[in-house]
């Protein structure tokens, strides 16, 4: 009898082993549920998933997702804006691929594309709900500027800076718009205002440099701002080598002028910037 009981005892599962098996099973079930939920969430039609595709440059996927998103009164503005940004990204990608061959052929609208019109209507719908929405005003003002519709762009960007006076990107865009409109004193005013708010902004330094160089005939001021632009070491700006050549030429032509800032860009050497 004793031997039989011992045999039966060793043949059964111990309590610790049962508990461990149960824990492992629970973890596997929970992991499976989490993975399935993650996969479902990652592919479900939502603004977040559309935004994720957009940020990774997958514009067609982003558009496909956002078209399936149902919106209520709270999310409608965000949907209108994101969808417009996606449409414009697709448009600018197409223009880049054709090397902007069709750009500016219509004097009344430099980008008469259905994609641009669709984006414009979406942004106007967003502003009908939220008239002072920062992103809608900025994207629409930028679109109008690229289309050469300067008065429309001016209204949107001025409304933006009136309601968001510390918005550097809006101020810079307004300054560049004034330069496009050949209102160079206003362009200088807004670009300098932007610099007061952010003195490490390469685009401000570059646009002030070119403004003084080509439009206000102030070579010494241009040298100062070209130097500041290059010292900021803008990584992806396609005008870096142009700015460097311009500054080196001005230094040779005006050897009597001493730059107030160090020329730290010389230590980095010339950088090859591909233009694709």
3-state secondary structure the chain: CHHHHHHHHHHCCCHHHHHHHHHHHHHHHHHHHHHHHHHHHHHCCCHHHHHHHHHCCCHHHHHHHHCCCCCCCCCHHHHHHHHHHHHHHHHHHHHHHCCCCCCCCCCCCCCCCHHHHHHHHHHHHHHHHCCCCHHHHHHHHHHHHHCCCHHHHHHHHHHHHHHCCCCHHHHHHHHHHHHHCCCHHHHHHHHHHHHHHCCCCHHHHHHHHHHHHHHCCCHHHHHHHHHHHHHCCCCCCCCHHHHHHHHHHHHHHCCCCCCCCCCHHHHHCCCCCCCC
**Cα separation, 62 vs 12, whole angstroms:** 57
Tokens representing 31 are 């992991």
Instruction: Tell me the pLDDT tens digit for each residue of 201-248.
Output: 999 999 999 999 999 999 999 999 999 999 999 888 999 999 999 999
**Cα separation, 266 vs 161, whole angstroms:** 37
| 179 pLDDT above the threshold of 50 | yes
Predicted local confidence at residue 32, as pLDDT:
57
Domain boundaries, the chain: 43-164, 174-276
Percent of the chain beyond pLDDT 90?
A: 73
Predicted local confidence at residue 276, as pLDDT:
37
Predicted local confidence at residue 38, as pLDDT:
44
Note whether 177 and 184 are within 8 A (CB).
Answer: no
Structural fold of domain 43-164 = 1.25.40
Q: How confident is the model at residue 272 (pLDDT cuts 50, 70, 90)?
A: very low
What's the mean pLDDT in 74-89? 94
Structural fold of domain 174-276 = 1.25.40
Predicted local confidence at residue 36, as pLDDT:
47
Note whether 189 and 177 are within 8 A (CB).
Answer: no
Better-scored residue on pLDDT, 39 or 81 = 81
Predicted local confidence at residue 269, as pLDDT:
58
- The answer to whether domain 43-164 and domain 174-276 are alike in fold is yes
Instruction: Provide the angle, in degrees to the nearest 10, between the axes of the packed helices 134-146 and 150-163.
Output: 160
**Cα separation, 50 vs 226, whole angstroms:** 39
Instruction: Tell me the pLDDT tens digit for each residue of 30-74.
Output: 555 454 454 444 558 899 999 999 999 999 999 999 999 987 756
């Amino acid at each position: 009898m004793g031997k039989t009981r011992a045999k039966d005892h060793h043949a059964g599962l111990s309590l610790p082993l049962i508990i461990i098996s149960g824990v492992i099973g629970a973890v596997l079930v929970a992991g499976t549920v989490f993975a399935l939920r993650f996969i479902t969430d990652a592919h479900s039609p939502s603004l977040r998933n559309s935004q994720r595709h957009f940020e990774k440059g997958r514009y067609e996927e982003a558009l496909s997702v956002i078209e399936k998103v149902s919106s209520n009164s709270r999310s409608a503005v965000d949907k209108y804006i994101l969808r417009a940004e996606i449409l414009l990204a697709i448009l600018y990608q197409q223009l880049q691929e054709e090397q902007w061959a069709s750009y500016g052929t219509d004097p009344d609208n430099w980008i008469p594309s259905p994609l641009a019109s669709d984006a414009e209507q979406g942004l106007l719908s967003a502003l009908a709900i939220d008239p002072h929405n920062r992103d809608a005003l900025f994207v629409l003002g930028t679109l109008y500027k690229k289309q050469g519709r300067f008065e429309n762009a001016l209204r949107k960007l001025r409304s933006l800076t009136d309601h968001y006076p510390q918005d550097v990107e809006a101020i810079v865009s307004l300054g560049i718009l004034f330069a496009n409109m050949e209102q160079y004193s206003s362009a200088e005013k807004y670009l300098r205002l932007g610099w007061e708010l952010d003195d490490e902004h390469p685009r401000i330094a570059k646009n002030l440099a070119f403004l003084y160089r080509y439009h206000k005939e102030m070579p010494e001021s241009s040298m100062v701002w070209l130097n500041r632009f290059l010292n900021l070491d803008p990584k992806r700006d396609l005008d870096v080598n142009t700015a460097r050549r311009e500054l080196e030429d001005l230094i040779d032509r005006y050897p009597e002028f001493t730059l107030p800032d160090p020329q730290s860009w010389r230590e980095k050497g010339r950088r090859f910037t591909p233009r694709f």
